């Protein structure tokens, strides 16, 4: 029998979480999207949240993790009902939508959409799931560093983004969600212009990296068993990122249940095998909040991880030492610094070589190998226009190759044009 929410809505689906401390449900009004609800006796309120998925298995995983996180927050004395940066962003964008119109003091819908997009990019640097009340000065310094590394922006674009974020923050202050009116961004020098292509590895640098990792993640180099296990996990993660083009944030939240449909392809001419795996990335762990699924080579790296790790249920995180939580940001950073030092790249920050550079390397290599931009867009989860803008830096050889696509090769070796535009 369907249950009642207590608010007049009939529950279409209902499941208890962790023995009943929380539950998930569906109502007609939410369009079959699973909702989360948990009662907090100390604050005498129900915590509710949309899980943004219609898939029950994913909803159960997300709900269990959320319930555990919320319970920990209560245990350390945090208020559960302080809103997140994502929630503040949603409230602010909803409020600014009222300004769409014609005339003084209004904005166009196009401007509103651009504002929403830019604010989302900026807020990601602070952590969309971070409580507004938990933002500290150190987080703002991290924002500056990550923004500098993340994308090609000039100083004026960054300053504009900061101004938009402060407008949002002031809105939150007036609504009682923040204790201070403005974010204290550190000043940029006007000469500090960031206008370079997204940094990626050269083939030589990447070759040095995976060769170095063979020693770095070996028993000869590391005698501590737990540390060695972690290093081998990192080694396989790097290989997977460089093959799939996944974002580092997506990989850190990937679970064994997101892998399926393993296939082996045989090249009859070379007798070489290619091991494929199908990866499903749920909307909740993507930057764009759009799910995607794709086949990728490199299944052997996942197989190695699976054989070594103890926690391999569908709900367990892949890149984790206990299946429940990933390494802390600080530890990921120190590991990267150690690896860069190991391959004699001492200025990796100045060069913009970060974890994200593995994604950039994967994308550039796929483009060079002839993968269509449309297919690539679906695999890596970014717009075709963004790939064209950021990654397609044609040299003379690539330009000539593109031009020759309108020609055919004759039997005598000469070329003849098969199509051209008439003027």
Q: Of the candidates 214, 174, 160, which has an alpha carbon nearest to the alpha carbon of residue 339?
A: 214
CATH no. for residue 248? 1.10.443.10
Same domain? 273 vs 296: yes
Structure tokens at 370: 């002839």
Structure tokens at 236: 């396989």
Residue 185, in any domain of the structure: no
H-helix segments, 125-202: 137-150, 155-174
Q: How far is CA 60 from CA 115, 160, 212, 238, in A?
A: 33, 40, 40, 29
| CB-count burial class (<10 Å; 0-12, 13-18, 19+) for 172 | buried
3-class DSSP state of 404: helix
Largest Cα–Cα distance of the chain, in whole Å? 85
Radius of gyration of the chain (CA): 25
pLDDT, residue 142, reads 59
Same domain? 65 vs 93: no
- Give the distance, in angstroms, between the CA of residue 211 and the centroid of all CA atoms in the same chain: 27
Residue 233, in any domain of the structure: yes
Residue 265, in any domain of the structure: yes
Indicate the number of domains in the chain: 3
Residue 157, in any domain of the structure: yes
Same domain? 271 vs 240: yes
**End-of-domain residue from the set 27, 43, 75:** 75
Same domain? 334 vs 355: yes
pLDDT, residue 151, reads 52
Count of C-beta atoms within a 10 Å radius of residue 417: 8
Same domain? 246 vs 371: yes
pLDDT, residue 396, reads 42
Same domain? 143 vs 235: no
Contact, 244 vs 280, CB < 8 A?
no
Where do we find the tokens 């940066």? 85
Same domain? 63 vs 93: no
pLDDT, residue 272, reads 86
- Phi, psi for residue 121 in degrees, rounded to 5: -65, -45
Where do we find the tokens 């799931």? 129
Contact, 377 vs 390, CB < 8 A?
no
Residue 182, in any domain of the structure: no
Count of C-beta atoms within a 10 Å radius of residue 29: 9
Beta strands in 282-400 (DSSP E): 292-297
Same domain? 68 vs 92: no
**End-of-domain residue from the set 75, 99, 123:** 75
Count of C-beta atoms within a 10 Å radius of residue 148: 16
Contact, 14 vs 25, CB < 8 A?
yes
- Phi, psi for residue 393 in degrees, rounded to 5: -105, 85
Which pLDDT tens digits describe the chain residue by residue (423 residues)?
345 444 444 456 889 999 999 999 988 777 788 999 999 887 678 888 889 899 999 999 999 999 998 888 778 666 677 788 898 999 999 998 888 875 455 677 777 888 888 888 888 877 788 888 777 655 676 566 666 655 555 666 777 888 888 899 999 888 877 777 888 777 665 444 344 456 789 899 999 999 999 999 999 999 999 999 999 999 999 999 999 999 998 999 999 999 998 888 888 888 888 889 999 999 888 877 789 999 998 899 999 999 999 999 999 999 999 999 988 878 988 999 999 999 998 877 767 788 989 999 999 899 888 888 899 999 999 888 888 777 765 444 445 555 554 455 556 555 454 444 432
Residue 410, in any domain of the structure: no
**End-of-domain residue from the set 75, 95, 117:** 75
What's the domain range around 48? 11-75
Q: Write out the H or E segment, with its range, that includes residue 336.
A: helix 329-342
Same domain? 334 vs 360: yes
Same domain? 244 vs 334: yes
Q: Write out the H or E segment, with its range, that includes residue 240.
A: helix 225-244
HSE-CB at 388 with a 13 A cutoff on CA atoms is: 7
Cα separation of the two ends of the chain: 70
Return d(Cα 321, Cα 300) in angstroms, integer. 19
Same domain? 62 vs 98: no
Return d(Cα 94, Cα 86) in angstroms, integer. 12
Residue 306, in any domain of the structure: yes
Residue 295, in any domain of the structure: yes
Residues 6 or more apart from 146 whose CB is under 8 A from it? 125
Same domain? 373 vs 269: yes
Return d(Cα 266, Cα 35) in angstroms, integer. 45
pLDDT, residue 330, reads 82
Q: Is the pTM of this model over 0.85?
A: no
């Amino acid at each position: 029998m369907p249950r009642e929410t207590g608010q007049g809505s009939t529950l279409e689906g209902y499941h208890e979480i962790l023995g009943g401390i929380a539950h998930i449900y569906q109502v007609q009004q939410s369009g079959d999207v699973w909702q989360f609800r948990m009662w907090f006796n100390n604050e005498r309120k129900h915590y509710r949240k949309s899980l943004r998925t219609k898939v029950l298995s994913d909803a159960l995983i997300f709900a269990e993790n959320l319930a555990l996180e919320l319970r920990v927050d209560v245990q350390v004395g945090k208020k559960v009902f302080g809103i997140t940066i994502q929630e503040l962003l949603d409230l602010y964008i909803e409020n600014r939508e009222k300004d769409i119109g014609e005339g003084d003091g209004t904005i166009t819908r196009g401007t509103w959409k651009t504002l929403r997009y830019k604010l989302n990019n900026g807020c990601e640097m602070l952590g969309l799931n971070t409580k507004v009340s938990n933002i500290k000065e150190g987080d703002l310094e991290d924002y500056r560093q990550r923004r500098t590394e993340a994308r090609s922006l000039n100083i004026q674009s960054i300053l504009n983004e900061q101004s938009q974020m402060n407008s949002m923050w002031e809105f939150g202050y007036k609504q009682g969600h923040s204790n201070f009116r403005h974010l204290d961004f550190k000043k940029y020098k006007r000469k500090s212009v960031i206008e370079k292509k997204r940094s990626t590895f050269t083939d030589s640098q990447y070759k040095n990296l995976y060769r170095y990792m063979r020693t770095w993640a070996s028993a000869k180099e590391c005698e501590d068993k737990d540390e060695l296990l972690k290093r081998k996990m990192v080694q396989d993660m790097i290989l997977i990122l460089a093959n799939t083009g996944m974002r580092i944030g997506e990989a850190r939240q990937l679970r064994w249940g997101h892998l399926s449909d393993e296939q082996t392809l045989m090249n009859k001419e070379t007798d070489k095998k290619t091991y494929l795996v199908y990866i499903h990335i749920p909307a909740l762990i993507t930057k764009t909040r759009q799910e995607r699924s794709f086949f990728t080579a490199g299944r052997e790296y996942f197989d190695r991880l699976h054989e070594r790790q103890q926690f391999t249920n569908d709900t367990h995180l892949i890149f984790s030492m206990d299946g429940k939580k990933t390494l802390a940001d600080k530890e990921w950073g120190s590991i990267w610094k150690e690896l860069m030092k190991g391959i004699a790249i001492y200025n990796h920050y100045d060069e913009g070589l970060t974890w994200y550079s593995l994604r950039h390397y994967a994308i550039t290599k796929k483009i060079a190998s002839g993968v269509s931009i449309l297919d690539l867009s679906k695999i890596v989860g970014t717009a075709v226009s963004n790939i064209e803008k950021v990654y397609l830096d044609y040299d003379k050889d690539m330009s000539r190759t593109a031009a020759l696509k309108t020609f055919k090769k004759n039997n005598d070796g000469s070329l003849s044009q098969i199509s051209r535009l008439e003027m």
